[in-house]
Amino acid sequence: MSVRETAAEIEEAATRWLWRRESGDWDADSDAALDDWLRVSTARQGAFLRAEAAFMTLDRLNWDAEQATPKTPRALPVMSRRWLIGGGLAAAASVTGAFVMLKGQSYVSPVREIRSIALADGSAATLNAATALRVDMGGEVRRVDLQRGEAFFQVHPDHARPFVVAAGKLRVRAVGTAFSVIHDGDQARVVVTEGVVETWWSDRPEARTRVAAGEGIEARRSEAIVKTALNDGGAERSVAWRLGRIDLNGETLDQAVAQFNRYNEIQLVVADPALRGERLYGVFDARDPLAFARTTGIVLGAPVRRSDGEIRIGWATPR
């Protein structure tokens, strides 16, 4: 019979993992062991993200309180970093989290970069590449405005202060749960991996749609919110990017290439139009487009050619 971990035990374990990684006692086996530990639950993933974000924040203590963008950080000496992680990361998280989470703080993750942040209320957010959001944790409602891109939220429970994400006109309300939101122009998508959220259009608050773990919604402005069931681990696959993975379960080659190109300077190109609709399966390292291209080439029987700045899959003209 498995023993349920307490939140304190999970936070402590996450701190130990981070300490090991930053202390230099780390190899490929350690990386695999950490992946296995994280894969068990979103609670573990959230705890590790919070520990990581608190650690990274230690480099940003010279931020200008009036600026949304940090100044160039002053790097702490390695031993200072290790002492803070090993001896006082929990305290550092609370202090630096309160410092960074100014009222109306903005965050941006650049193109090809994923960013983890710790929010002042104890929640964690992971921003996919090319994402911008603004947060306000003060007041009776914890508010996040997802201006563009995609973010994954692990919400610290607080029944007195709901957590509301705005993606254009779409609203997503949670109390304590884990979910992702995509905001792309007039379209939005929500996927829930833990708990339940409530969604609605801001001008139609009476028409609400509840979305539970393993479900998602597609929302296009002026149309109804459409709820779908994500079977066979689909919810977790859709947010695999936060762990640096691309998990394909029947996506087309075109769709897979678009995902890889989001994270890499070397761009994938489908040279043969006949291959674009081919469906693919497997889990890949988001930062290794060449390995993906070679695997795809073997599966589809297509050549793979690498040149400056791009990797071409397939023949450009009929053979």
pTM: 0.66
- Cα(301)–Cα(201) distance, rounded to whole angstroms? 47
Rounded Cα distance, 170 and 190, in Å: 10
| Summary mean pLDDT of the chain | 81
How much of the chain is in helix, strand and coil states, percent to nearest 5? Answer: 35, 35, 35
Could you tell me the domains of the chain?
Answer: 1-100 (no CATH), 102-235 (2.60.120.1440), 244-313 (3.55.50.30)
pLDDT band at residue 54, thresholds of 50, 70 and 90?
A: low
pLDDT of residue 159 exceeding 50: yes
Look up tokens 């193109």; give the residue. Answer: 111
Locate tokens 């650049």: which residue? Answer: 110
pLDDT band of 56, cuts 50, 70, 90: low
**Are 64 and 101 in contact, with CB atoms under 8 Å apart?**
no
pLDDT at position 58, please?
45
